[in-house]
Amino acid sequence: MKALDNQWRTSTRSGGNGACVEARYMDRTTQVRDSKDRQGPALAFGAGQWVAFVQGVKSGQFDA
């Protein structure tokens, strides 16, 4: 996995249908936004919050 920088990035696993999120690293936070609303709000997460989220995704904590 590449480290995030200040450019918005989508997952390489996204389907390209516009129904995904974009993420970037800026101002010591990881920011996430809806790819369909690029002018809309972005959520910002501190390092600990982001690491916990990624670990939860990898462990299946958020599987439907």
| pTM more than 0.85 | no
Residue 4 lies in a domain: no
Q: Is residue 46 part of a domain?
A: yes
Judge whether 61 lies within some domain: no
The total domain count for the chain is 1
Assess if residue 18 is contained within a domain. yes
- Check if the beta carbon of residue 11 is closer than 8 Å to that of residue 22: no
Q: Would you state the structure tokens that stand for residue 2, as one six-digit string?
A: 């590449």
- The pLDDT, as a whole number, for residue 3 is 67
- Condensed to tens digits (0 to 9), the pLDDT of residues 7-63 reads 998 877 777 676 788 999 988 899 999 988 889 999 999 999 999 999 998 999 987
Domain assignment of residue 24, yes or no: yes
Q: Which domain holds residue 30?
A: 9-53
DSSP 63: -
